[in-house]
A and B are shown apart, each in its own frame.
Chain A
Amino acid sequence: MSEHHEQSFWSKYIFSLDHKVIGKQFLWLGLFFVLFGGFQALLIRWQLAYPEQPVPWWLLGDILFSDTGGIIDPDKYNALFTMHGTIMIFWAITPLLIGAFGNFVIPLQIGAPDMAFPKLNMISFWTMVLASIVLLGSYFLPEGTAAGGWTSYPPLSSPVGGIAGEGQTLWTLALTLAGTSSMMGAINYIITVVRLRAPGMTYFKMPLTVWGLWLTSILNAIFVPVIAAGLILLLMDRTIGTQFFISGGLATVDGGDPLLYQHVFWIFGHPEVYILILPAWGIVSDLLSVFSRKPAFGYKVTAIAMTTVASLSMLVWGHHMYTTGMSPLLGKSFMFLTLLISIPSAMFFFNWLGTLWKGSIKFDPPMLFAMSVMWVFGIGGLTGLYNATITADIYLHDTMFVVGHFHYTMAASVLFGSFAAIYFWFPKMFDRKMNPFLGKLHFWVSFIPLNYVFFNMMVLGYGGHHRRIYDPSNYDFLKPMMWLNEYITWFAIALGLAQLIFVYNFIHSMLKGEKAEANPWGAATLEWTLEAPIPHGNFETVPTIYNGPHEYSNPKVKDRDWISQSEPISS
């Protein structure tokens, strides 16, 4: 694994077995889809603020909707919110945090030469590319892409009575392929962490980033196979005439049950939100410590609390289904278990505050984004309690309140977590520094509009605004709130424009940025002991681990305020 030899362009950059290159490949894929999915969000917002008015040229209205004079028709609107959700969750966040940073960071932080199975890693990425091609291919079908919502509940996704066209079939196939890619990644990450840790790197000396990614992989390994089974059944319904999820007037035989799909979907779907956010929690825990120049407060408790959340997440899927006629006893059990999650969540949240307490905080861009995760996740977590409570949820279900809530937890927390990670590891990935001023500017012009957008979505939802309606101005009770819809849209556009700063900073720094030294942040974890460029095989000699991952401001270390995990502290 660690031999150094000349490689051709193809084996070095395209079908590379090196986890660092595969990580970057996932990063490019994720960044492309973040921009793609974000652009769709702006189109959705345009329709909600200015229903059935032509989309302006700078949102490509006359190109994308040329046959309707720039107006988004209801079918296209359905397709927009369906693909926005699908792409952001499975093609943007998953490749960014799990694919890119899981690949790049795990082996470097545990002192491993590479992933346990480099070939499987390569196949995992190219399966994801295949999934992307299938997904994007669905746009070119005569009746357009999938439009049954990102959850694709039957009968919306059924071959009869559902959305017309085969877009949904390709959606299901693409998701199965993406799931296959995730499963390959999960096996690789789990075995890598179990087997390839450097001597001395015990579980409780692993950086919390690795903890987060590892727990994510375990949840992936358990639950992606379950949704794969469900998707296979949906695919059979759509292609060979079975009726697993079809019932009532649409069915020609007895016994199908659309609720079964909802159960299978959410058995996977609820852990999925933790699959997405656990890496962000881990990264934030580590970054707060690095930029406060203090050991992470309650390191073990944070690790155990994250494990507890991961375990509890397996038992709470029913809280997505309170309004499906579930037995009240079952509903209450799900409510109790869901509310229970707030305890371990609060534990590591207070640990984060404890890490900041009396630290000498440095407000570099990664830290700004890490701290903003605390804010947005705090709001997202607290509003989750309203959705978890049956009595409140029956009113709030399927409103923009839910949209605001899960955008705070999944979109805002995970996106800002990804930005924190990108700003933090950029010097190690590309050997150059990002411009810190543009980074801070990017933070402020993202953070303020983002809160305006998502908080006001919750306000709208509290006023009864349903999440998937095409034209809110059709409803008398929503008319007084149309001004809020317009404001949200303009702030969403500001949020979108702010990302151009990031794109510029990213590309410019990658090509022409200032050369980075080996350890620009003074961080203690192993990847910062390596000089650029890191060779295929990473470590010249296998490092021995002496310290925990957060040895900052240790009084026994004299001339600096950090010591690497692989340096013994002389006392």
Chain B
Amino acid sequence: MSEVIAIRDPWGKATTGKLAMWLFIIMDGLSFGGLLIGGAALRLSMSNWPEPGLVLNIPLTAFNTFLLICTSFTMVMALNAIQKGDQKGLKNYLAFTMAGGIAFLGIQVYEYSHFFLGNETLTQHLAEAGFVGASNFVPSTGTYAAVFYATTAFHGLHVLSGVIYIACILYAANKWNYTSAQSDKVEILGLFWHFIDLIWIFVFTVIYLI
């Protein structure tokens, strides 16, 4: 029993920080899973669930989805840039990504405000969807609204934290002159950002499309 056995690391060359981010992503995915499955369970028990697109604006959100996918692309380009040691490219692409994230949030706020303030078209659509007499679409309008707001707001907060996270990395990259040696920090940021993007595909499908 006295021979030394070196630890054969089963996780390849991944850094400690990257492993932690993967673990966090799994945990966060379980939170989203709880919300999505909970929403689905409530939906299954209901006889009337509004048709897709009746209340929610699918084209607008489809554009938002496209925007978020584009930011995933710019995030990959940012990582690619810093791996080549291109600091300017890193900053530019991170700034693009951040702008995309802010635009996504802006469109979401526009969508929410539209629902909160209400107008005649919305009232008419709400009546068609079964919410007769509702003048606006707020969390207390019904279980449909509650599920919509819980899931999209939870995701929106993730985008917000992602934007703040990008801002921090952008600040650090500027202050400490990131080189390819620090590309790991950008890669970990990228993992989180891609996760937000991926989970949005689920949220968009479950909440808006089906």
Binding site for B on A (CB under 8 A): 116-117, 183, 186-188, 190-191, 194-195, 197, 199-202, 221-226, 228-230, 232-233, 236, 240-244, 252-257, 260, 263-264, 544-548, 568-569, 571
Contacts and interface: CB of A to CB of B under 8 A. Distances in A.
B19 interface: yes
Contact of A199 (B6, B48, B154): B6
A225 B138 CA distance: 26
B42 interface: yes
Interface in B36-78: 38, 41-43, 45-46, 48
| Count class of interface residues, chain B | 35 or more
Nearest to B11: A194
A240 B140 contact: yes
Contacts, number: 130
A236 B16 contact: no
A188 B3 CA distance: 30
Contact of B2 (A183, A186, A240, A547): A547
A221 B38 contact: no
Interface stretch (B22-30, B82-90, B95-103): B22-30
Contacts of B26: 221-222
A243 B143 contact: yes
B139 to A, nearest CB: 5
Contacts of A188: 20
26 contacts: A187-B23, A197-B7, A199-B4, A201-B7, A221-B26, A222-B27, A224-B27, A225-B31, A226-B34, A229-B33, A229-B34, A236-B139, A236-B150, A242-B139, A242-B150, A243-B143, A244-B38, A253-B141, A253-B142, A254-B46, A256-B42, A256-B143, A260-B38, A545-B4, A546-B2, A547-B1
Nearest to B140: A241
Contacts of A224: 27
B207 interface: no
B138 to A, nearest CB: 7
A546 B1 CA distance: 7
Contacts of B160: none
Interface of B: 1-7, 11, 16, 19-20, 23-24, 26-28, 30-35, 38, 41-43, 45-46, 48, 138-146, 149-150, 154
Contacts of A200: 4-7
Contacts of B43: 255
A252 B19 CA distance: 46
Given A240-B139, A244-B146, A253-B141, A187 B20 contact: yes
B6 A242 contact: no
Contacts of B33: 226, 229
Contacts of A263: 41
Given A202-B7, A236-B146, A242-B140, A221 B1 contact: no
A564 B24 CA distance: 35
Given A200-B6, A546-B3, A569-B2, 13 more contacts: A116-B20, A117-B16, A117-B20, A191-B16, A199-B7, A223-B30, A225-B30, A229-B31, A229-B33, A233-B38, A257-B41, A263-B41, A546-B2
B184 to A, nearest CB: 14
A191 B22 CA distance: 11
Contacts of A187: 20, 23-24, 27
B7 A257 contact: no
